[in-house]
Amino acid sequence: MKRFFMFSIVLFWLVMVGLLIRRTMPQSHSTPSPPPAGTITAQEEWMGIYQQDQKVGYLQRRVTPTDTGYQWQEDWQMQLRVLQTTQTMHTEIRANTDQHYALTHFSFRLLTNGAVFQVTGDVAGQELRGEITTGGESSPFSFPLREPLYLPDTVQMALRNTVLQPGEERQFSIFNPLSLRPDTISVTAIGPETLSLQGKTQTVTKVAEQFNGTTVHAWIDQEGKVVKEEATMGLVLLRESREDALGNGWQNTAPVDLVTWAAIPVSGTLPNPRTLTHLQLRLLGPIDPTLFSFPPRQQRQDGTLTVASEDLSTLVTYTLPQTNPEFAADLAPTPFLQSTHPRLVAQAQQILGGEHDAVQAARRLLDWTYTALDKVPTIGMPTALEALESKRGDCNEHAVLFTALARAAGLPARVAAGVVYLDGAFYYHAWSEVWLGQWVAADPVFHQFPADATHIKFVEGGPEEHLALLKVIGKIGMEIVKSQ
């Protein structure tokens, strides 16, 4: 049953924070000076990616001077284990910069199990204009810019002659192509260290990179190049030769299963979790006080969390489509929930067959999503169009497709992310919520309406909001107080 719902997008984010955040597009708070002529020549670097001393991937980076600046290429490939299933991810980054290393064009592609998620963009004056391509369709987006955009590694080039003093911190604004939004990463110098790598000892500077509740450590040599990184899940990147990166130490499977690694331990058992309507837990560990409280279903008081699933007799139905402007955001399309796309609109109409009662429409959409999608673990960026096209996926694909179909029908809906109880632990999971006089949890994977009380919400919103879960993963435990 575990393979029916695992919340792999959270686990995927953990990987990406360790491997990609430093390679997206940051904004330096001060523009670096242009390099002296001939300073940067064509370069190629390779790094091996390891988990518990076993190779699980590699990274290739190449920079080439052009007449107007530089061309940047980066490719990495990883094999990860999800519920005893090997998942292969390949990422491509292509970028062009001017002579000051400022970004002029980029292309980001994520390939997983035949699916392609692509983001491209161009800097036009004070604006970044781009498009996201998924499920064979493209949609535009844009962001205003106040400063030039940079690749982190090109910023490092400009700062190669700068020595960061212990405790010195620098911040960068980044545009993340996986969430399509700006964020901030801070880099703090810890101090000099002696590092032994491939039989050679060298003096390096250790830095801590903090992003959205997660810390990544990196070791930078005197030329400003990263020679080692330590990320979450025990992932380690080491600078290597091309031959070693591609051919040294590969195994058929990764040593750590992401689902088992990310499970939240719990004290006590729940013998019939799918029928629970009330649950009280004690939260253990350092916890952000702003998390977990989503009344009336889920309420937190000090260290105690109480969850009560919705009572069907209290639901309020109405005639679709919902026209109250209060729900405009929960009816609008997003790059991940393409609810106005003709294919999704047509599918919603086919499912409902003229049904306009909100409660009955929610049931029909839930029934169809539960039946139509093959339930398999996946790693990638879930979008409604891709899920509709592939008819397969885990809880993420189920949640985004159901939510988009509901919005296409005029039923306010949103994605929720958190954990659900199964086999003695809480596992990361995603489901949906629909408005029926109150927000009602609906789980198209478990085929529950409303969802049982072991569905504990941490964040609400589509995949672009799920980075907030990094504040929780691996940091808390739970103790069952009572249930019914």
The pLDDT tens digits of the residues spanning 30-46 come to: 444 444 444 567 889 89
How much is the pLDDT for 291?
77
pLDDT bin (cut points 50, 70, 90) of residue 76 is confident
Q: Render pLDDT for 164-195 as a digit per residue (tens, 0 to 9).
A: 788 888 777 777 777 777 777 788 889 899 99
Pick among 3.10.620.30, 1.10.3470.10, 3.20.20.70, 3.30.428.10: CATH of 263-483: 3.10.620.30
What DSSP state is assigned to residue 370?
Answer: H
What would the two tokens of residue 169 be?
A: 């911190």
Amino acid occupying residue 413 = A
Percent of the chain having pLDDT more than 90?
Answer: 35
Q: Render pLDDT for 240-288 as a digit per residue (tens, 0 to 9).
A: 999 999 887 777 677 777 777 778 889 988 989 999 999 999 988 877 7
The residue among 162, 185, 142 whose CA lies nearest residue 28 is 185
Tell me, rounded to whole angstroms, the distance of Cα 302 from its chain centroid.
Answer: 29
How much is the pLDDT for 163?
67
Angle between helices 342-352 and 395-408 (to 10 degrees): 80
Backbone angles phi, psi at 202, to 5 degrees: -145, 155
Q: Name the range with the highest mean pLDDT among 121-135, 204-218, 222-236.
A: 121-135
How much is the pLDDT for 258?
74
pLDDT bin (cut points 50, 70, 90) of residue 1 is very low
Q: Is the pLDDT of residue 159 over 70?
A: no
pLDDT bin (cut points 50, 70, 90) of residue 213 is low
SS3 per residue for 58-73? EEEEEEEECCCEEEEE
What would the two tokens of residue 225 be?
A: 């190049």
Amino acid occupying residue 121 = G
* Cα gap 297→416, rounded to integer Å: 13
Q: Is the pLDDT of residue 476 over 70?
A: yes
Strands (E), 83-199: 85-98, 103-112, 115-124, 127-134, 137-144, 169-176, 181-197
Residues 120-145 have a mean pLDDT of 86
Distances (CA, A) of 130 to 142, 147, 198: 6, 17, 41
Helix ranges (H only) for 7-131 are: 8-19
Strands (E), 371-412: 374-375, 392-393
How much is the pLDDT for 353?
96
Between these two residues, 340 and 261, which has the higher pLDDT value?
A: 340
What would the two tokens of residue 318 be?
A: 């109405």
Q: Render pLDDT for 433-447 as a digit per residue (tens, 0 to 9).
A: 999 999 999 999 999
How much is the pLDDT for 308?
96
Between these two residues, 196 and 7, which has the higher pLDDT value?
A: 196
The residue among 249, 244, 235 whose CA lies nearest residue 52 is 235
Q: Render pLDDT for 99-108 as a digit per residue (tens, 0 to 9).
A: 877 889 989 8
pLDDT bin (cut points 50, 70, 90) of residue 198 is confident
In contact, 214 and 221? CB cutoff 8 Å: no
* Residues 156, 160, 166, 169, Cα dihedral to 10°: -30
